[in-house]
Structure 1
C-alpha cells in the first residue's frame, strides 16, 4: 500500500485518510490510537458489512510507516454534504433521503456490536469538565432511557454519506457504531447539524420524527447525554455550545 501526501483526503492531528490505488486508507498515529482502538474500528466495519447494508468493505489491517492503517474499498461519488452545499434550495429533498438512509441503518441488528449505553456511560464518567452532581444527573437520565438494540452509526452526518452518479447512497466511517436506541443516534445527528447550522438541524429533527413516528420531546431528552459524549472529543470550538446542552434540567 503506497501512500502519497498529495493523495490525502482528510488530515487530522492524529489521523489521515488517503486515496490510493487499492482503495481508501485510514492511517492512525500510535500516540493517540492503540492497537485495540484500530482493531475495534475494523471489527465494527466487518460487523456492519454482515448486516447487509451497502457499505464499503474492509480489505486489510496493516502497519504503514510505523502506524496502524485500515484499507477500505472506495465508494465513488460525492458526499451528501458537498451536494447540499452547491444545491441548498433542495435541502428538504436531501434531508428526506438522508433520514430514509438513517432509518434503514436503524432497521438492522448486529448483536456483537458494543452497546451504546455502555459507551455513553464510560464517556460521561470520564468527563473532567463536569462535577460529580452533573455526571450523576446525566447517568441517572441515561439509565432511565429505554434499552434498544438497533444499529446506530454514532456520527451520522452528510459528510459520511457518499452519493454515486446513479443516486445510490452509502455510509462510511463506522468507527463509532454501536447497538442501542435509535433516538440517541438521532440526537447525535441533530447535535452535529446544530454545531454548524441550527436551521438545518431543525429541518432534520422534524423530518426524522415525522418519518419514524417519534415524539420530538423523546429525541430531545437524549440531547444532554449525547452532548456530554461529544464533549469528550476535546474540541475547544464546540465546548461552550455543548455545555449549554448539558444542562440536564432543560427537558425535564
Structure 2
C-alpha cells in the first residue's frame, strides 16, 4: 500500500492520507486484537447512523496492522476554536450538541463502559493502593447502568468540519455503551488538562443541554481520572491524582 502524506503522529500509530483514504498504521508491537476491536467498534457505530467516516478495510503494510477509512477534507473543531476565538461559544454549543447526538444512540454489541473502567482500575495496582482502588470500584458499582453510545475520547480534535459545514466524528477506538455522564466527565477532564476555562464552559453547557446535575457528572471524575492514568503519561500524573482522591462533592 502506498503511503503518501503523514497527517498525524502519535505514540502508537502514524496516520497517512492517500487516494481519498486515511490509513492509520499501528506500531509493530501494537496488539492485533486491539486493531480489530477498534475497526469493529467503528463499524458498529456506523450502524447507528451517526455521521462518521466509513471503514474501508483492515490490512497490513510493511508488516504493521492498519485501519483504512474514508478521508474527510476539512478542519478540526479544535483548529476552528483556536483560529476564531470570538465564536468560541458557538463552537462549544455545536460540540456539546454532537456529543448529545452520540448519546442518543444505542449499540447493544459494543463493550460495556463499566466493565472497561473496572479493568482499568484493577490495572493500577502499582499506582494506587488497595483502599483507593476499592473506593473507586465501590463508587463505580453504585453508579446507574445505562446503555448509551459513549465515544470515550470526545474532544474537539476528533471532530472534522468539511467545507459544507458538515461535522464528522472520528477516532472510535474507545467507544463503549454506558453512562453518558461518564463520557461527559472524561471530556471535562481532557479540557481540564489543558484549559480549565474551556472545561467549565463545556461542563455548564453539557449540564444545561442534557438537563443533568453538575454534581452527578462530577461524581464520575475520580473514576475517569483513574482510567486516564492507565495511559501512563507522567506529565498528567500529579493532576490526575488530585481527582482520584475520592470524595463526595457538595
State the TM-score, normalizing by the size of structure 2.
0.98
SS of 2:194 mapped into structure 1: coil
- Find the counterpart in structure 1 of residue 202 from structure 2: 204
SS of corresponding position for 1:195: helix
Partner of 1:171: 169
Paired with 2:235 and 2:163, the residues of 1 have a C-alpha distance of 35
Q: Distance in 2 between matches of 1:158 and 1:45?
A: 18
Q: What stretches of structure 1 of length at least 5 have no aligned partner?
A: none
Can you list the C-alpha shifts for 1:82-121, whole angstroms capped at 9, x where unaligned?
0000111211111101000000000000000000000000
Q: Tell me the residue number matched to 1:226.
A: 224
- Report deviation, 1:22: 4.3
CA distance in 1, matches of 2:247, 2:198: 25
Match for residue 85 of structure 1 among 82, 86, 94 = 82
Shift of 1:29: 1.2
Q: TM-score, normalised by structure 1?
A: 0.97
Correspondent of 1:54 among 45, 51, 55: 51
The CA deviation at 1:250 is: 4.9
Alignment of 1:45-194 (within 5 A): 45-127=42-124, 128-194=126-192
Could you tell which deviates more after superposition, 163-172 or 173-182? 163-172
Q: 1:247 maps to what in 2? A: 245
What is the alpha-carbon root mean square deviation over aligned residues?
1.0
- Show structure 2 runs of 5+ residues with no match: none
Q: Does 1:2 align with 2:2?
A: yes
Show structure 1 runs of 4+ deviating over 2 A: none
